[in-house]
Amino acid sequence: MQLIEIKMKPLIFALWVVFVCGGLNAQTNAWQPSPGHTQVPIWPGAVPDAQPVPGPEYVTNVPPTTGVPWVAACNVSQPTMTVYSPKGTNTGVAVVVFPGGGYNCLAIDIEGTEICDWLTSRGITAVLLKYRVPLKKVGPYWESPLALEDAQRTVGLVRFHAAGWHIDPHKIGVIGFSAGGHMVAATSTHFDKRSYPAVDAADKESCRPDFAIACYPGHLHHGEDLKLNPNVPVTSNTPPTFIIQAEDDHVDGIEQSLVYYIGLKNAGVPVEMHLYAQGGHGFGLRRTKFPVTEWPRLVETWLGTIGMIPK
C-alpha cells in the first residue's frame, strides 16, 4: 500500500513503512472496528508458529505526502477477522479482505474497512482479516508464511460458518491490495494442503477461494526477466482472477501484475486484467481524477460474468 502517485522505489517504500510503523503518531491501543462490528480471534488457542514482534500492537495515523492520510495497524501478533454483513439484498457471496502495507503494517482503512463498506453495499458479506505483520522470513515460503496461515484459516472459517452467515460455500472469494494482493495469489495457489496442523473442524473445510481479485499486487515478479515468483505455483485449479494495475505504479511495478497474468493465462485460468496509464499505488477506493477510480464497477461486472452475482 502507498499513497496516490507517490514516487518511491520498493526498497525506499519498505524503509518508509518501517519508519511509519516504528512510532510516528503511534498509539499504544490495538485497532478496533467501528461500533456494531466485532473482531474475533481466528485461532481458538495458541497462534501457530508464533514469532516475536517489536512491541504491542498499535495503530498510527499516516500523514499524507500526496493524496489523503490512512491508518496503519502495526505489530499484529494476534490475528482476527471482522465480519461485515451485507446491506439490502444478500447475494450469498463472501469476500475475505487482505489490506496491504508491505508486510510491515496493514492499511486497515483505505484497503480494509473502506473495501468492506463497498462490498456490503453490493449485498456481499465482507470479512476483514487482520493478519500477522511485520514480515517474518522463515521457511521455504519466505513471503510472510504466517500471513498465509492466517489467510488459509480464515477462508476455511468462512466456509465452515457459511450456513449460519447466509453465505453460499461455493461463492467465497478474496481481495487484496499490494502485499495483500500477493496474499491473494498465495491463497489462490496454496490450498491443497494447510501450512499448519489442523486445529478443529473448520480446518477440514477447503481453503481454496472460488474467485480472486488482486489490486496492484507485489512480490510476484522474480528476477530480471518476466518470471513469476516460484512460491506462487499457478495451476489450472487456481481460481478465476481479476487484476487491476496502474502503469505508473512506482512501488509495485507493472511487472508484478504482468507475470501473474501470464502465469494464469498459460495455466488456462480465467483471468481479466485492466491496466491504466495513471493512478500510482495505493489508491484503494478513494476518488481520484484518473479513470482507474472506476475499477470497482469493473469488478462488479466481472463477478456477474463468472456467475457470482446477478448480471
Q: Residue 81 corresponds to which cell in the numbers above? A: 477477522
Alpha-carbon dihedral sign for residues 83, 89, 90, 95: negative
Q: Can you tell me the distance from the alpha carbon of 85 to that of 39, in angstroms, rounded to the nearest whole number?
A: 13
d(CA 2, CA 197): 35
47 against 139, higher pLDDT: 47
The average pLDDT across 273-294 equals 89
Looking at the DSSP bridge assignments, the partners of residue 244 are 215, 274
pLDDT category, 65, cuts 50, 70, 90? low
Instruction: Give dist(CA 306, CA 74) in Å, integer.
Output: 36
Query: What does each C-alpha distance from 183 to 62, 258, 291, 311 come to in angstroms?
Result: 23, 16, 26, 28
| Contact between residue 98 and residue 132 where contact means Cβ atoms under 8 Å apart | no
For 230-283, how does the pLDDT look when each residue is reduced to its tens digit (9 = 90+)?
999 999 999 999 999 999 888 878 899 999 999 999 999 999 999 999 988 888
Calculate what percentage of the chain has a pLDDT beyond 90: 73
Of 8-22, 74-88, 109-123, 236-250, least confident by mean pLDDT is 8-22
170 in the Ramachandran plot: left (φ > 0), alpha (ψ -120 to 50) or beta? Answer: alpha
Q: Which amino acid is at 237?
A: N
Which strand (E) or helix (H) includes residue 213? strand 211-215
CB atoms within 10 A of CB 36: 7
> Has residue 41 got a pLDDT over 90?
yes
Which pLDDT score, from 0 to 100, does residue 289 have? Answer: 87
Q: How confident is the model at residue 127 (pLDDT cuts 50, 70, 90)?
A: very high
- What the block records as the C-alpha cell of 169 is 460455500
Residues 127, 154: Cα–Cα separation, whole Å = 9
Lay out the sheet containing 70-74: strands in order across: 58-62, 70-74, 105-107
Whether the Cβ atoms of residue 110 and residue 70 lie closer than 8 Å to each other: yes
pLDDT for 91: 98
Count Cβ atoms below 10 Å from residue 30 Cβ, excluding itself. Answer: 18
pTM value is 0.90
Which pLDDT does position 10 carry in this prediction? Answer: 41
Query: Is 209:259 a contact under the CB 8 Å cutoff?
Result: no
Contact yes or no for 228/263 (Cβ under 8 A): yes
Q: What are phi and psi of 119, to 5 degrees?
A: -65, -45
Which residues have C-beta within 8 Å of that of residue 94, sequence separation ≥ 6?
124, 125, 126, 127, 158, 162, 165, 167, 171, 172, 173
Residue 156's CB is within 10 A of a number of other CB atoms, namely 24
8 A C-beta contact, residue 151 and residue 128: no
Decide if pLDDT at 4 tops 50.
no
Which residue segments constitute the domains of the chain, with CATH numbers given? 10-305 (3.40.50.1820)
Query: Shortest CA distance to 188 belongs to which of 262, 269, 132, 309?
Result: 269
